[in-house]
Amino acid sequence: MRSQSTDDYLKALYKLETEEKPVSTTALARLMKVTAASATGMIQRLARDKLVAYRRYYGVRLSPEGKRIALRVIRNHRIIELFLAEELGVSWDKVHQEAEAWEHVVSTEVVEKMADRLGNPKRGQRGQLIPERDGAMPEQRDHVLADAAIGALLRVTEVEDDDAGVLQHLVSIGLGPDSRLEITERRQYDNLLVIRVGGKTEILGPSLAQRIRVARLPVVRRSKEKVV
């Protein structure tokens, strides 16, 4: 059986590969909050198990098998979070910690039963895309809020943050998956975004605006649809 830390390293590599390929040992060590030496030790083990390809001074890449495992663990995590929240009523700020532990030990059979019960969801609790049953990752088509146009009607698709404090703040201002909003101003001097959400004006800092993903609402509106 694979260890929990193997799974966690593969997940971290999958995440980093969306930004740079190959991944540097330094970036991996930073994300895993370990020294470069221990990250290198782990990478060498993963390379022996053929879960990554590694060349010193060049970086590390997931092998097809490493990627398959990473996507399976990510699917487990996101399905478990939804299941805990929706079927068991566990509060949304607690489900992440639970899922971090369960994702490694749950069987595929049980996770797929959870997915069936949930109606085979495509997105997780915070709107994250869920890898499909066969291991394919759907294409990300939305954008980062920080880059969105002023005046466009937007829908939140994902909040890329697991921090309970951040999530509580967003809930308190009415921002979560599926919320509608509009950027009214992008302040050049301090990089803050002024937005309208739920009839109120709110201000978002630049780092938060980087971690919220949005899609533009279609311009053509059906007559019955209400505008924000």
Binding residues for Zn ion (CB under 5 A):
96
Distance in Å, CB of 128 to Zn ion, minimum = 8
Q: Nearest residue to Zn ion, using CB?
A: 96
Query: What DSSP assignment string belongs to 97-166?
Result: HHHHHHHHHS-HHHHHHHHHHTT--SB-TTSPBPPPTTSPPPPP--EEGGGSPTT-EEEEEEE----HHH
Give the nearest distance from C-beta 44 to Zn ion in angstroms.
Answer: 28
Q: Is the Cβ of residue 170 or residue 195 nearer to Zn ion in the bound state?
A: 170
Q: Ramachandran region of residue 74, left (φ > 0), alpha (ψ -120 to 50) or beta? A: alpha
Q: How far is the CB of 125 from Zn ion (least distance, A)?
A: 7
Of 52 and 99, which has the nearer Cβ to Zn ion? Answer: 99
* Identity of the residue, 128 or 179, whose beta carbon is nearer to Zn ion in the bound complex: 128
* Spatial distance between the Cα atoms of 132 and 120, rounded to a whole number of angstroms: 9
Q: What is the DSSP letter of 223?
A: T
* Token pair belonging to 3: 């260890």
Which CB, 148 or 212, lies closer to Zn ion?
212
Answer yes or no: are the C-beta atoms of 66 and 17 closer than 8 Å: no
Q: What is the dihedral sign for C-alpha 54, 69, 3, 29?
A: positive
Of residues 59, 111, 62, the one with CA closest to residue 84: 111
CA gap 140, 1 in Å, rounded: 32
**Beta carbon of residue 49, minimum distance to Zn ion (angstroms, whole number):** 25
> Nearer to Zn ion by C-beta: 42 or 159?
159
CA distances from 119 to 103, 108, 149 (A): 19, 16, 34
Residue count of the chain, please give it.
228
Q: Which is nearer to Zn ion, 75 or 96 (CB)?
A: 96
Cβ 184 to Zn ion shortest distance, Å: 31
CB of 122 to Zn ion, least distance (A): 16
Give 72 or 96: the residue with its C-beta nearer to Zn ion. 96
Q: How far is the CB of 171 from Zn ion (least distance, A)?
A: 16
